[in-house]
Amino acid sequence: MSVMSNVVNRIAWDEKGLVPVIAQDANSGNVLMFAWMNREALEQTLILKRAVYFSRSRNRLWFKGEESGHVQHVKAVRMDCDQDVLLLLVEQVGGIACHTGRNNCFFEEYDWDKQDWHVVAPVLKNPDDIYKS
């Protein structure tokens, strides 16, 4: 199975050949994380129906869950009005998307009274138990 080039060519890839990607839990609606894809990552995501990102820090494809087991099964891939952002609707294996062991990465919230950030979501699993050596 291959991905037709017209699908990937619709995307307005940025100057680095990347597109921003938002992953949302298809069931809870929680925004889980934000990452990037290159062409190959999108193709692999569409073929495998599993989230594959491009890791800018490691400069390689990142098969989400490859170390943690916290795979994201992709139920839908949506594109925005400028064709330069993607939204994935996913089923999050283990209910943990964040490397800190939380459901999602957006766990600090601004407190208008204290005028500072504060943590609003619990650690569900110790990262040391997620990433065993």
Q: Residue 32 corresponds to which tokens in the numbers above?
A: 């889980």
Q: Segment 68-127, which members bind its own copies (CB under 8 A)? A: 76-83, 85, 87, 98-100, 102, 105-110, 112, 115-117, 120
Q: Residue 54 corresponds to which tokens in the numbers above?
A: 């491009």
Do 93 and 63 touch, CB atoms closer than 8 A? no
Q: Dihedrals φ, ψ of 5, to 5°?
A: -65, -25
Which of 20, 40, 73, 123 touches its own copies (CB under 8 A)? 20
Instruction: Find the shortest distance in angstroms from Cβ 58 to its own copies.
Output: 14
Instruction: Find the shortest distance in angstroms from Cβ 107 to its own copies.
Output: 7
Q: Residue 22 corresponds to which tokens in the numbers above?
A: 């938002």
Specify binding-site residues for Mg(2+): 80, 82, 84
